[in-house]
Structure 1
Amino acid sequence: MTQTTAADTSPKSAPAPPARRIHRAWFVAAVAFVTIIGAAAFRSLPGILIDPLHQEFGWSRGTIGFAVSVNLALYGLTAPFAAALMDRFGIRRVVAVALTVIALGSGLAVWMTAPWQLVLYWGFLIGLGSGSMALAFAATVTNRWFTERRGLVTGILTAASASGQLIFLPLLSWMVEKNQDWRPPSITVALTALAVVPFVWLLLRDHPADVGLAPYGAKEFVPKPPPVPGAARRAVTVLFKAARTGPFWLLAGTFAICGASTNGLIQTHFVPAAHDHGMPITAAASLLAVIGVFDVVGTIFSGWLTDRFDSRRLLGAYYALRGVSLLFLPMLLAPDVRPPMLFFIVFYGLDWVATVPPTLALCREHYGDDSAIVFGWVLASHQVGAALVAFLGGVARDVFGSYDVVWYASGALCAAAALMAMVIRRRA
């Protein structure tokens, strides 16, 4: 007769669930996917509201672009502190508060009458809230709940972040044209963010140990680490430590160019640029939505590739191809949608944030347990690059009457990013 000891029933020796059951980690990833889409909805608005705000209030595109740039910068700068706060207070609390802040900023925006209110609501409130829901959140979920398939899960959650911004575009642009008013889309986004909060609170869990499980793919149980005090201090300490290494600056530089050529350039300025050439706003917004659809495929496939191939080579190829495509874009803009434009849209969708899985993999390779916070700082550079181009793109349009110089400059930057990615050293 076998005697059962206390150790046999402890969490550390708890048997793994049957192989045929779906691991709880996949349900957590699904909730995170829906949550990120809900948070990203507001980020689809700036591109379709630049012209309506300009017409109603007479604000220059540079002024509107400045508010968008504040949003993009805070989206990135908040991320490392949010990752540290998740280590201190838990994922669920931080995410629920962030969604509420997004809804607050989006709801208050409908009463704005002055540019400073645009900066406050769009820039600061939405920037802080969406920054807490940024890709550092995806990195934290992936690092805690998965030891296998990390590249694939990173690709899925990254696709949610980018596609959530773009898939909402046709609906929101239809609302603008139908009502001849930019306020209904803003209210819709506020309600979307609030609707996700109950799912986060009821279904999301901070760590596999909370439900007595090991991370997906782990061979043994991993105890939940204690809360880490001093979130702000830890985020800054990790930054200073990482800043003494070469790979950090190369990753930050390439990701800044990634942000400049996606969120800052295409997401913010593609719709008004296409409208300059006579294309209806709804048609241009629908093209961005197509980017969002193909982004899902491209980013998940990139995650699969990241699990199998050298991340540096993947980044080099992604940036080089993106730069070439931007050089051709000025020749493709026209009043109607033609096959070459569709080819550009499909390609840009596949490449949109395909850079995230290999970038996060390199952060894990070089910075280990601090990789989520380091990636948060790398993401901050992504958003600073996006903010600069969102602002400077609007200024260039006001000065030159065209976006052509912005497309060409961004293409050259992507070529530089490809070279930077290839010189990142491998960790022994």
Structure 2
Amino acid sequence: METLTKRRTKLHYGWIVVLVTFFTLIVSAGIRSVPSIFMLPFEKEFGWGRADVSSVVSINIFLYGLMGPFSAALMERFGTRRVVLISLICIAASLSLTPMITALWQFDLLWGVVVGLGTGSLANVLGVTIANRWFIQNKGVVVGILTASAATGQLLFLPLLAKITVDVGWRYAIYTAIAMIAVLIPVVAIWMRNHPYDIGAAPYGSDQVVKPAEFKGNLFMTPLLTLRDASKNKAFWLLAGTFFFCGFSTNGLIGTHLIPACGDFGIPEVTAAGLLALMGIFDLVGTTMSGWLTDRFDGRWLLFWYYGLRGISLIFLPEALGLGYTELLIFAVFYGLDWIATVPPTVKIASDIFGKEKAGMVFGWVVVAHQLGASFAAYEAGLLRDLLGSYSLPFLMAGFVCMIAAIMAVRIRRTGTAARAL
């Protein structure tokens, strides 16, 4: 009995893997948010317009999403630790070359392509893979925590990097990001593990040590075949459609353009970055709570409320920008609670309908839709700002498409295992 008690009270190694993954995703998110800080400095130093820099962000976001399902296949074949380490090294190499850029195409290549593909391997698919491999119980909470890490990355690094950019220049912000990766690489190498079986453990919430099935598919074709099978189900298109609008209204729009939009009203970059950081604080709370709710309630109705409330906040944003700091503070809190809260219920619905084994790749394709929406919003908002001199129309458009997403979410039908699980 004493031995059994000790075994139950011992920290499960899955939580250590979650912690390492959490910090990996934090750093990745912090790096991906950097172009929003550079938009104004690049405009002054290189003469690049908002649409020019937005095009780089658009490429980055698209490749970030497209990499998801293939990253899931790579993790199945080579293991999470190896994939994460190679991705971090590629990102570090790209960052090291960035201070030497002199032309837009170089920024396109280094940040649009290399950083886009590198961070795409450290995206939500990584969190879903960790949750499915290491946890039977509390899976929704784990997905919520790892999803929230993206906003936490902004919480920790955006104000810092913005302050460095304003005080000593954008190149020193790049050097700071390189230092973060240099610290992270040995942490991943030492403590990351691929599967509970590697250490002779069962997933959290189970007593059975199960050897993972060997990946026998083609690294390129298996994700495509998974997409073909999933696309036959109407639920996949509804999930992908809602996530397209999710990306359209979050990282593509607010994550990229809130800082320059605040600049249009005379709000300093560091203050605007602080607003994004505040959103990160509340998103950490909101998304973690969303994971807890997802373990207990119907994910479709959670998505209905998340998208509807986000739409209201975005419709309010143009007025908040014109009124002042108090109204922007209200927006930051309200919007932040809901920023990425949509991920846990979307993952749960996908896992229930398509099965745990395919959940990573299916969700990877759903994330592709998310990043397509984000990519479109990133470029569209920059273009409309250059044409109209204001971000009001892009913000209002995003608010209304969120209302459409709310209606789409409740139209997802539950059949078979989905009906029982939800």
TM-score (norm 2): 0.96
Deviations 1:143-197 (A, max 9, x none): 0000110000000000112321343111011001111x21111121122123211
Which amino acid in the other structure matches residue 138 of structure 1?
Answer: G
**Using the alignment, how far apart are the partners of 1:197 and 1:251 within structure 2?**
34
1:326 corresponds, among 288, 309, 314, to: 314
**Using the alignment, how far apart are the partners of 1:130 and 1:165 within structure 2?**
15
Which amino acid in the other structure matches residue 367 of structure 2?
Answer: L
1:57 corresponds, among 34, 46, 59, to: 46
Task: Name the residue aligned to 2:92.
Answer: 103
**Using the alignment, how far apart are the partners of 2:201 and 2:138 within structure 1?**
17
Task: Name the residue aligned to 1:208.
Answer: 196
**Using the alignment, how far apart are the partners of 2:6 and 2:76 within structure 1?**
27
**Using the alignment, how far apart are the partners of 1:21 and 1:274 within structure 2?**
49
Task: Name the residue aligned to 2:352.
Answer: 365
Which amino acid in the other structure matches residue 161 of structure 1?
Answer: A
Which amino acid in the other structure matches residue 78 of structure 1?
Answer: M
3-state SS, counterpart of residue 126 of structure 2: helix
Task: Name the residue aligned to 2:262.
Answer: 274
Deviations 1:327-362 (A, max 9, x none): 111111148522x22111011111010000000001
Within 5 Å, give how 1:17-32 maps onto structure 2.
Answer: 18-32=7-21
**Using the alignment, how far apart are the partners of 2:81 and 2:293 within structure 1?**
30
**Following TM superposition, by how much is the alpha carbon of 1:224 offset from its aligned partner in structure 2, in angstroms?**
2.5
Task: Name the residue aligned to 2:234.
Answer: 246
Kept in 1, the 8 Å contact 2:151–2:281? The answer is: no
1:259 corresponds, among 238, 247, 250, to: 247
Task: Name the residue aligned to 2:420.
Answer: none
Task: Name the residue aligned to 2:419.
Answer: none
Structure 2 CA distance for partners of 1:325 and 1:371, relative to 1, 3 Å: same
Q: Which moved more, 1:73-82 or 1:182-191?
A: 182-191
Within 5 Å, give how 1:79-158 maps onto structure 2.
Answer: 79-158=68-147
Task: Name the residue aligned to 1:163.
Answer: 152
Which amino acid in the other structure matches residue 388 of structure 1?
Answer: F
1:45 corresponds, among 34, 53, 63, to: 34
Which amino acid in the other structure matches residue 239 of structure 2?
Answer: L
**Using the alignment, how far apart are the partners of 2:216 and 2:338 within structure 1?**
36
Kept in 1, the 8 Å contact 2:30–2:150? The answer is: no
Task: Name the residue aligned to 2:373.
Answer: 385
Identity %: 46
**Using the alignment, how far apart are the partners of 1:291 and 1:228 within structure 2?**
42
**Using the alignment, how far apart are the partners of 1:135 and 1:153 within structure 2?**
12
Structure 2 CA distance for partners of 1:187 and 1:321, relative to 1, 3 Å: same
Which amino acid in the other structure matches residue 140 of structure 1?
Answer: T
Q: Which moved more, 1:403-412 or 1:228-237?
A: 228-237
Task: Name the residue aligned to 2:363.
Answer: 375
Deviations 1:69-124 (A, max 9, x none): 00000000001100000000011000000111111112211111001001001100
**Using the alignment, how far apart are the partners of 2:216 and 2:298 within structure 1?**
33
Kept in 1, the 8 Å contact 2:278–2:336? The answer is: yes
Within 5 Å, give how 1:273-352 maps onto structure 2.
Answer: 273-334=261-322, 336-338=324-326, 340-352=327-339
**Using the alignment, how far apart are the partners of 1:335 and 1:45 within structure 2?**
27
Over 4 Å off, 4+ runs: none
Q: Which moved more, 1:65-74 or 1:36-45?
A: 36-45
Task: Name the residue aligned to 2:187.
Answer: 199
Which amino acid in the other structure matches residue 284 of structure 1?
Answer: A
2:213 corresponds, among 225, 228, 237, to: 225
Deviations 1:32-71 (A, max 9, x none): 1111112222112111110110110001111110000000
Kept in 2, the 8 Å contact 1:278–1:334? The answer is: no
Which amino acid in the other structure matches residue 367 of structure 1?
Answer: F
**Following TM superposition, by how much is the alpha carbon of 1:218 offset from its aligned partner in structure 2, in angstroms?**
1.4
Task: Name the residue aligned to 1:427.
Answer: 415
Structure 2 CA distance for partners of 1:381 and 1:79, relative to 1, 3 Å: same
1:66 corresponds, among 40, 55, 58, to: 55
Kept in 1, the 8 Å contact 2:64–2:116? The answer is: yes
Kept in 1, the 8 Å contact 2:40–2:260? The answer is: yes
**Using the alignment, how far apart are the partners of 1:213 and 1:75 within structure 2?**
32
**Using the alignment, how far apart are the partners of 1:421 and 1:412 within structure 2?**
15
Q: How many residues end up aligned between the 2 structures?
A: 412
**Using the alignment, how far apart are the partners of 1:336 and 1:403 within structure 2?**
16
Kept in 1, the 8 Å contact 2:20–2:187? The answer is: yes
Which amino acid in the other structure matches residue 130 of structure 1?
Answer: T
Deviations 1:238-297 (A, max 9, x none): 011101110111111111111111101111000100110111111111010000111110
Kept in 2, the 8 Å contact 1:16–1:214? The answer is: no
Q: Which runs of 5+ in 2 are unaligned?
A: 417-422
**Using the alignment, how far apart are the partners of 1:105 and 1:98 within structure 2?**
11
Which amino acid in the other structure matches residue 274 of structure 1?
Answer: C
**Using the alignment, how far apart are the partners of 2:13 and 2:292 within structure 1?**
21
TM-score (norm 1): 0.94
**Using the alignment, how far apart are the partners of 1:234 and 1:383 within structure 2?**
21
Kept in 1, the 8 Å contact 2:287–2:340? The answer is: yes
3-state SS, counterpart of residue 264 of structure 1: coil
